[in-house]
């Protein structure tokens, strides 16, 4: 594995999002002196927080899986996850509601889910679910160490025995077809394949290897931090500061100071921070602008669909909603054509509705509720641009509310006391390419060693982290990206102690 060249004692991490905080904790555990500079007044990055009228809205991801990765970051500085953060398991992990009026609770326990599938679709599908679960587990075991939690220097790094194992499991086939080998009920197939949307590829075209995301959601378990998702970066930042990190909020990075091919300092609007190495976590266009270098690729990057998010604080809730509810429209293949092909807004939307107050009522005033509605939409490369969204946003907000009221959330519009609507305009303003928070799509040509690498030609001591680089999009993978960036600095060697790290 290639590492940065020269001294690495002093590291500046740009960005206190999940990837930056993960990198900081792993670097501290390896005895590095770490300074984190963050333009916002608090940690979190995309996992931010908006407080209005007593409501605490998480503005970023709402689904937390693979908590062992969080525990690993704390363990790097000799800390226990439970001492900093309380994670509450969600039962069920999801509730799926379909256009025909049927509903399915998605459990992560094998026996519970088998019984639920049998109730929902019959004994034959329940047997298929058991076989699917075993396949997902094997797929995860094969992929994690070699293909997800791994730095790549060359496509030749793929040539391991695990590549043959992945091929034998059908990982290079198509996701929808592979799920169809286990389940014939089209509704069930959606439950185990919709996750590919967040990787930016329709299930009919996505590699079956991306079923590993379904493993995380439907086998490994879904959790929620007490205090909301923003409690996760707050806890990570506190652990990093306790372990010796210098975290500077309200510092906007303006440029990198260089000497030849080395970055020698990070310059912010408040001063200069000398460094031996820098870890850059902003989205790729911002990181490349700071570096003054954009890697040449044979094909232009393709980006994932974007999302419109309505954060609503309401004076009531609806009994059919779980903590996470996926409300599927009748259309499916057409939805993906619109989102990734024609660039149209979903004509029959499938929506993620999250009700965090179902698990933690303290996030809203007494007797009040939080509802987070995520509607995938085309990115600005193929769909409406930011100028169009300025006029489109209020109309689309009203359209979403009418759709949800028609699906059983009667009186939703009148129940809203506080709200915030997020569109591609906001994602663009935050520096996200193509107006999407989901970065580069996980096509085959943008996966593994073909994804933008975390070492960039033209500089010998800068490393990238975040969803645009290895291994990709999602909370678990972003946490891994921070660890992989730290390994590029340290060579993967860490010292873990019961207290503060030692060099």
Give pLDDT tens digits for 23-66: 999 999 999 999 999 999 999 999 999 999 999 999 999 999 99
**Cα angle: 271, vertex 275, 281; to 5 degrees:** 85
Question: Is residue 38 classed as helix, strand or coil in its secondary structure?
Answer: strand
User: Which structure tokens are listed for 159?
Assistant: 């040539």
Contact between 461 and 263 under an 8 Å Cβ cutoff? The reply is: yes
d(CA 165, CA 138): 10
Contact between 143 and 175 under an 8 Å Cβ cutoff? The reply is: no
Q: What DSSP designation does 420 have?
A: E
Q: In what order do the strands lie in the sheet with 271-274?
A: 253-259, 262-268, 271-274
d(CA 69, CA 486): 14
Segments in 312-367 forming alpha helices (H): 333-337
Expressed in percent and rounded to 5, the helix, strand and coil fractions of the chain are 40, 20, 40
Q: What is the pLDDT of residue 146?
A: 76
pLDDT above 80: residue 145: no
User: Which structure tokens are listed for 483?
Assistant: 């660890």
Q: 460-500, pLDDT tens digit by residue?
A: 999 999 999 999 999 999 999 999 999 999 996 443 333 33
Share of the chain above pLDDT 90, in %: 82
Contact between 71 and 235 under an 8 Å Cβ cutoff? The reply is: no
Share of the chain above pLDDT 70, in %: 97
Residues 6+ apart with CB under 8 A from 437: 46, 60, 306, 307, 427, 430
pTM exceeds cut of 0.85: yes
Contact between 275 and 266 under an 8 Å Cβ cutoff? The reply is: yes
pLDDT above 90: residue 152: no
Helix (H) or strand (E) holding 36: strand 33-38
Q: What is the pLDDT of residue 284?
A: 92
d(CA 433, CA 429): 10
- Does the bond joining 305 to the residue before it have cis omega, within 30 degrees of 0? no
Please state the φ and ψ torsions of residue 308, each to the nearest 5 degrees.
Answer: -100, 130
Q: Look at the block and give the residue holding tokens 């982290």.
A: 465
Q: What is the pLDDT of residue 308?
A: 97
Q: 252-275, pLDDT tens digit by residue?
A: 999 999 999 999 999 999 999 999
User: Which structure tokens are listed for 355?
Assistant: 């009700």
DSSP β-ladder status, 277-280 and 10-14: parallel
pLDDT above 90: residue 200: no
Question: Is residue 236 classed as helix, strand or coil in its secondary structure?
Answer: helix
Question: Is residue 44 classed as helix, strand or coil in its secondary structure?
Answer: strand
Q: Nearest-CA neighbor of 272 among 463, 35, 8, 15?
A: 35
Q: What is the pLDDT of residue 298?
A: 61
Angle subtended by helix axes 123-143 and 110-121, to nearest 10: 140
Q: In what order do the strands lie in the sheet with 94-97?
A: 103-106, 94-97, 324-327, 351-354, 369-377, 306-314, 416-422
Residues 6+ apart with CB under 8 A from 250: 38, 39, 40, 41, 270
CATH architecture of 10-48+64-85+227-300+443-490: 3-Layer(bba) Sandwich (3.50)
Q: 166-192, pLDDT tens digit by residue?
A: 899 998 999 999 999 999 999 999 999
d(CA 195, CA 203): 8
Question: Is residue 278 classed as helix, strand or coil in its secondary structure?
Answer: strand
Look at the alpha carbons of 112, 115, 120, 123 in this order and tell me if their dihedral is positive or negative: positive
More confident call, 448 vs 492: 448
């Amino acid at each position: 594995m290639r590492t940065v060249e020269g001294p690495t004692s002093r590291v500046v991490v740009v960005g206190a999002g999940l990837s930056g905080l993960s990198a900081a904790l792993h670097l501290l555990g390896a005895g590095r002196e770490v300074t984190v500079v963050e333009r916002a007044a608090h940690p979190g990055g995309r996992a931010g927080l908006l407080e209005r009228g007593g409501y605490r809205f998480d503005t970023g991801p709402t689904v937390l899986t693979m908590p062992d990765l969080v525990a690993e970051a704390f363990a790097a500085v000799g800390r226990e996850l439970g001492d900093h953060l309380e994670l509450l398991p969600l039962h069920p992990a999801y509730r799926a509601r379909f256009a025909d009026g049927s509903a399915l609770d998605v459990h992560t326990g094998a026996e519970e889910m088998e019984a639920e599938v049998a109730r929902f679709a019959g004994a034959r599908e329940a047997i298929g679910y058991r076989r699917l679960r075993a396949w997902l587990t094997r797929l995860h075991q094969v992929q994690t160490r070699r293909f997800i939690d791994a730095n790549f220097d060359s496509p030749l790094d793929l040539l391991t025995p695990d590549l043959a194992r992945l091929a034998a499991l059908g990982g290079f086939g198509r996701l929808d077809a592979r799920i169809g080998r286990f389940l014939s009920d089209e509704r069930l197939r959606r439950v185990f394949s919709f996750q590919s949307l967040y990787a930016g590829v329709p299930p009919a075209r996505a590699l079956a290897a991306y079923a590993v995301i379904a493993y995380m959601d439907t086998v490994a378990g879904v959790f929620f931090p007490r205090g909301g998702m923003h409690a996760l970066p707050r806890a990570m930042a506190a652990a990093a500061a306790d372990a010796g990190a210098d975290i500077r909020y309200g510092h906007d990075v303006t440029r990198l100071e260089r000497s030849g091919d080395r970055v020698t300092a990070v310059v912010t609007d408040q001063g200069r921070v000398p460094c031996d190495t820098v870890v850059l976590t902003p989205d790729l266009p911002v990181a490349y602008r700071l570096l003054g270098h954009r890697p040449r690729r044979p094909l232009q990057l393709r980006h994932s669909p974007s999302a419109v998010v309505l954060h609503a604080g309401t004076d009531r809730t609806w009994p059919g909603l779980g903590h996470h509810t996926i409300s599927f429209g009748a259309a499916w293949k057409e939805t993906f054509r619109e989102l990734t092909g024609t660039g149209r807004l979903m004509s029959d939307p499938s929506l993620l509705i999250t009700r965090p107050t179902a698990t933690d009522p303290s996030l809203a005033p007494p007797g009040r509720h939080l509802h987070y509605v995520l509607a995938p939409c085309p990115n600005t490369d193929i769909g409406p641009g930011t100028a169009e969204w300025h006029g489109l946003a209020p109309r689309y907000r009203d359209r979403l509310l009418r759709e949800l009221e028609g699906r059983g959330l009667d009186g939703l519009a009148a129940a809203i006391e506080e709200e915030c609507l997020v569109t591609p305009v906001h994602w663009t303003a935050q520096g996200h390419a193509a107006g999407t928070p989901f970065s580069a799509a996980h096509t085959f040509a943008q996966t593994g060693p073909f994804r933008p690498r975390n070492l960039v030609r033209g500089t010998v001591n800068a490393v990238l982290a975040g969803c645009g680089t290895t291994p990709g999009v999602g909370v678990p993978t972003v946490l891994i990206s921070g660890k992989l960036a730290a390994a590029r600095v340290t060579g993967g060697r860490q010292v873990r102690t019961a207290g503060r790290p030692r060099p």
